[in-house]
Structure 1
C-alpha cells in the first residue's frame, strides 16, 4: 500500500510528517510523492491564520480529486480546531487531534512494523531532517490560536531525541533542524532550567551530524550566555526570532514578553559575539488597534535593526483568541498596503545582509540540481546562515557540504563558486 504525506505550515508539522514517514517505512509501506499512486493520504493541517485554514481545506479537496479512491486522514492544528468541518470533506476517513497524532501510523492499513529495520526511511531527495523536540506552549499571545490547538508545553526526553538524531545520521542526512511550538522552552517541564542549551550541548558532543539548525525561537527564551554555543561551527549561524511588531504599544496588546529595546539589545549581542550571524524575524501588520503612528513606529524600528530578512503576514482574527474581540479591527485594504511596505523593506534587508557576506567563503549544503547548462549542473543549496545559493559546477553536488565563494545577490539567491 502506498501512502502520500502532505504538510502545511510550520517546521514542526514537517517534523511530524518526517517521523511518520519513517514509521511507515518500517512497516513496509511506500511513501510516494504522487497522490494518484496512493491508497492512503495523510494531511497535516495549519490554522495559524484564516488563510492557512482555507488552504488546509483546499488541499484536502484537491487531493480527493487527484486520488478519488484514496482514504484521507487529517491531523494538525486545523483538524484539532475544526474536526467536524474537516470530517465533512470528501474522502476523509479519520480526523486525528494533535494529542493523538503519534498513533496515525497504527491507524493506517499495512503490515506489522519491521523492528529489525529502525533506520528505514530516508527520502532520497531530502538532505535536511526535521526533529520535533517539544510540543505546545505555555504563553498565550492574544492573537495566537496555536496554544488552543497544541496545548501546554511538553518536552521529549533527551535520550529519545539523541537516539532519533543518531538514526537520521545513519541515513546520511547532512543537517538536522530542531523544531517545536516554543522550542526555547524545551526541558522546562522536565525540570531543566536551560533545557535547550543542555540538549544542544548533548547533540554537539554525542553525535557527528555535520550541521544542527534551530527553528523559530522566542526572544525571551534565550539566556545571556546562549551565544557561547556557536563556538562549535556545526551549529548553524541563523536564528529566527519572532518580534511581531516594533511598537511597544502593539506588543503590549499582543501580550508579548519582549520589548523592541530588549529585542535590539539581543540582536546586537548575537551579532557582536557570533560573526555574520543571520537573524530573521516575523512581523505582523494590521493587529487590532494598530493605527498609522504605531505602524510607522514599527517600520522605523525594524529598518534600523541588523536583520537578514522578515516574514511579513497580515493579522487575521482566530476564533477563541482575545485579539478577535479587540476593537478596532483593521481594514483588509490597510493590511495589504502595510504588508507591501514591509515586504519591500524585507528585500532591502536581505540585500544588505548579502552585501555584508559577499566575497566570503562559506560552507554550503547543496540540496538539489535545478537544471543543467553547457557549463555544468545548476546546483542550489543553503549556507549555514540560511542564504539560498546557486552555482554551476561540472558535478551534481546534491547532499554534499562544500566550501563556496559567495558572489552577488540576484533574485533572492547568492551566485556562488564551489570550492572542492
Structure 2
C-alpha cells in the first residue's frame, strides 16, 4: 500500500463507519488485495508432496524463548477477542495456545461477535464440508467489518496452508485482514500488529514446517480434562490426506518437556490428559534417541493422574512395546481409536496406508490378547475412487469381525493437490450414499449392542458438567469413553464417581448416582 492509500484509508476510518465513504474503504482494500495477488503469485510456494517427502527431519529446532514483544505487551487492554474453531483436537489445542497469547497481551475472551475487536477462524482442511462452513462464516462476518473497519478479521489453521484457499480469499474476500498457517502461531503478536497498523491484508503462510516452540501460553477450557501435544505433522502421505502439507513433517517434542507439562497438569488437579498428534504413535521416530510412545506412556504411568489417553493412531506404527505398556493398566486407558479407512487390501494400497487387511486384523488380535476388554473405534472412508462393490464388502466384513463400538464414517471428499484428487472416480453419488447408509446401520447396531452390556453395571464416570440437552442432568465419560447422563448435585463435577447404568442407548448411557459411595461436598 502506498502513502496516498494509507492517508486515504486513515481519513475514512476516522469517519463514521456507516457513511458512504465505506465504499472507498472497500475499493482500497480491493486494490491492496490485487497488489498482494501479484506478490503472492510470484513469491508463495504452495505445499508440494515431492518436496515435503524429501525434506530432512532435522530442519526444525526446539526453542524455549517465546515472549510477547514489548510493543505488544498489554496492547489488548480493554479489548476482546473471539476464536471460532473447526476440525480436530489439534485445532482445539492450537486455539488454546492462541487464546493464551491473546490473554497475555491483555485481551479478554468473548463469544459475541459484535463485542470482538479481533475475530479469528481457526480452520480445518480435512473435508470439503469444513471449508464450505468457513467460507459461509466469512460471508456472515462481512457486515461486521463494514460497520467497524477497525475490526481485525483473520483466517488461520489448516485451510490457510492451501494455495486455492488463499487465492479465493484474496480474490473474493478482500476485507479479511490476516491469513496465517499452522507453523507460525507463535508469531501472532507480530502478525496482529501488522494487521492493525499496516491496514493491509497480512499473509504469513509457510510451505515448510516451523520450529517447536515450548513455552507458549495456553488458555485451557476448564480444569478437568486437558490436551497435550506430543508431536506435530505426519510423514505417511496417504493419497487422500492434506495433513502432511498443512501440518508438515513429523516433529516430536522432547520427552522431558511433555512429562513436565503432564506433571504440572496433575498438580493443578486435572483428572484426564489426552496426548495429541496427527500420527501419535509415530512419536519419537525423528528423535536422536531410542524412545517411542510406549516408553513415554510408561514414564507417564507413574504420575498421579487418573486417566491418560492418546489420539490418533496409525496402525503401521502401533508396536508391541505400546501394547505392552497399555496392558499394564492403571491410568493407561484401553480405549483405542485405530483408523482402518478400508477393509480391502487393494484399496488400502491405493490409499497409501502401508498395511494390508491381514496386518490390521493381526494388530487387532494382539490388542485383544493383551487387553481383552479393550474398546476399539475407527475411521472409515466410503466411495474412495473406483472402490468396487466387492471391495466395499470387505470393509463391511472387517467391521463385523472387529466389532468396532463406534466409527467415524465419511463419503470420500477430494482435497486439492492430493494424489487421490487426480484419480478417476466412477462411483455414482447415490451408490456412495447407499454404501454409507448400510455401513452406518451396522456400526450403529454394534454400538447399541456394546452399550447394552453396561445395563446394571456400576462404572466410574469423570463428571464434566451439565448435559448438553438438559441442564438438570450431569454428564461425563467412563474410562472407555462412553457418555453417561445422570442426576446428581453440581458438587460432583470434576470428580470420578460411581454410577449405576439403568438404561443403554445407541450412543449414550443413562445412570443413577451410587449415593453411598460418593462424598458430596
- C-alpha change, 1:195 and 1:59, in structure 2 (3 Å) is farther
Residue 219, structure 1, aligned to residue 297, structure 2: no
How far is 1:388 from its partner?
A: 0.8
- 2:169–2:176 Cα contact (<8 Å) kept: yes
- 1:50–1:318 Cα contact (<8 Å) kept: yes
Q: Distance in 1 between matches of 2:346 and 2:444?
A: 26
Aligned to 1:121: 219
Residue 379, structure 1, aligned to residue 474, structure 2: yes
Aligned to 1:267: 364
How big is each residue's C-alpha offset from its partner over 1:147-181, in whole Å with a ceiling of 9 and x where there is no partner?
Answer: 12122111122222233334434544322211111
Aligned to 1:401: 496
Question: 324, 348, 358: which one pairs with 1:251?
Answer: 348
Q: Distance in 2 between matches of 1:213 and 1:203?
A: 11
Aligned to 2:280: 183
How big is each residue's C-alpha offset from its partner over 1:131-153, in whole Å with a ceiling of 9 and x where there is no partner?
Answer: 22211111111111111212211
- 2:378–2:407 Cα contact (<8 Å) kept: yes
- C-alpha change, 1:159 and 1:6, in structure 2 (3 Å) is farther
SS in 2 for 1:188: coil
SS in 2 for 1:184: helix
Aligned to 1:6: 84
- 2:294–2:323 Cα contact (<8 Å) kept: no
Q: Distance in 1 between matches of 2:136 and 2:509?
A: 34
Q: Distance in 2 between matches of 1:36 and 1:237?
A: 45
Q: Distance in 2 between matches of 1:356 and 1:99?
A: 45
Aligned to 1:208: 304
- 1:276–1:357 Cα contact (<8 Å) kept: no
Residue 359, structure 1, aligned to residue 456, structure 2: yes
How big is each residue's C-alpha offset from its partner over 1:370-400, in whole Å with a ceiling of 9 and x where there is no partner?
Answer: 3898xx9411111111111111124453222
How big is each residue's C-alpha offset from its partner over 1:6-34, in whole Å with a ceiling of 9 and x where there is no partner?
Answer: 21111111111122223333333222233
TM-score by length of 1: 0.89
Query: Where does the alignment leave 5 or more consecutive residues of structure 2 unmatched?
Result: 1-78, 194-214
Aligned residues: 410
Residue 48, structure 1, aligned to residue 126, structure 2: yes
- 1:15–1:129 Cα contact (<8 Å) kept: no
CA RMSD of aligned residues (A): 2.6
Q: Distance in 2 between matches of 1:263 and 1:276?
A: 18
Aligned to 1:112: none
The residue correspondences of 1:95-106 to structure 2 (distance < 5 A) are: 95-106=179-190
Question: 484, 505, 521: which one pairs with 1:389?
Answer: 484
Residue 84, structure 1, aligned to residue 163, structure 2: no
How far is 1:190 from its partner?
A: 1.0
How far is 1:66 from its partner?
A: 6.3
- C-alpha change, 1:405 and 1:40, in structure 2 (3 Å) is same
TM-score by length of 2: 0.73
Residue 93, structure 1, aligned to residue 177, structure 2: yes
How big is each residue's C-alpha offset from its partner over 1:104-146, in whole Å with a ceiling of 9 and x where there is no partner?
Answer: 255346xxxxxxx99873434x632222221111111111111
Aligned to 2:61: none
Query: Where does the alignment leave 5 or more consecutive residues of structure 1 unmatched?
Result: 110-116
How far is 1:194 from its partner?
A: 4.1
Aligned to 2:466: 369
- 1:362–1:403 Cα contact (<8 Å) kept: yes
SS in 2 for 1:37: coil
SS in 2 for 1:147: helix
Question: 65, 88, 107: which one pairs with 2:191?
Answer: 107
- C-alpha change, 1:317 and 1:119, in structure 2 (3 Å) is closer
How far is 1:315 from its partner?
A: 0.5
Residue 61, structure 1, aligned to residue 139, structure 2: yes
The residue correspondences of 1:146-161 to structure 2 (distance < 5 A) are: 146-161=243-258
- C-alpha change, 1:397 and 1:50, in structure 2 (3 Å) is same
Q: Distance in 2 between matches of 1:267 and 1:363?
A: 26
- Which range moved further: 55-64 or 261-270? 55-64
Aligned to 2:155: 74
Question: 319, 336, 347: which one pairs with 1:239?
Answer: 336
- C-alpha change, 1:168 and 1:229, in structure 2 (3 Å) is same
How far is 1:48 from its partner?
A: 0.8
Aligned to 1:321: 418
- C-alpha change, 1:41 and 1:203, in structure 2 (3 Å) is farther
How far is 1:63 from its partner?
A: 4.4
SS in 2 for 1:327: coil
- 1:369–1:397 Cα contact (<8 Å) kept: no
SS in 1 for 2:183: helix
Asked which structure has the greater CA Rg, the reply is 2
Aligned to 1:199: 296
